[in-house]
């Protein structure tokens, strides 16, 4: 399932909050930059890394599975 850009920004924001990271810190962890403005398309590899970050949250990230 392809992630919608509008939902993508919400996912990034939620991951930042739950991991207590800045946008820049999360971007470095995922391997991308400039993504919440809605103009940057992230590679499939970065999306897989986001999915892994959600999975790593365990129960705290269960509701974020809806993005994938």
Has residue 2 got a pLDDT over 60? no
pLDDT for 19: 92
pLDDT for 63: 92
Q: Which candidate, 57, 52, 54, places its Cα nearest to that of 65?
A: 54
> 17-57 pLDDT, tens per residue?
999 999 889 888 877 765 555 555 666 777 888 899 999 99
Print the domain residue range for 45: 5-67
Pick the residue with more confidence: 33 or 2? 33
pLDDT for 8: 73
Residue 6 CB coordination number (10 Å): 8
Structural domains counted in the chain: 1
């Amino acid at each position: 399932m392809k992630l919608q850009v509008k939902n993508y920004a919400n996912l990034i924001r939620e991951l930042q909050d739950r991991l207590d990271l800045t946008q820049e810190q999360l971007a470095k962890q995922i391997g991308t930059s400039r993504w919440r403005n809605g103009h940057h398309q992230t590679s499939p590899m970065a999306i897989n890394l986001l999915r892994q970050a959600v999975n790593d949250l365990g129960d705290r990230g269960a509701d974020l599975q809806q993005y994938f």
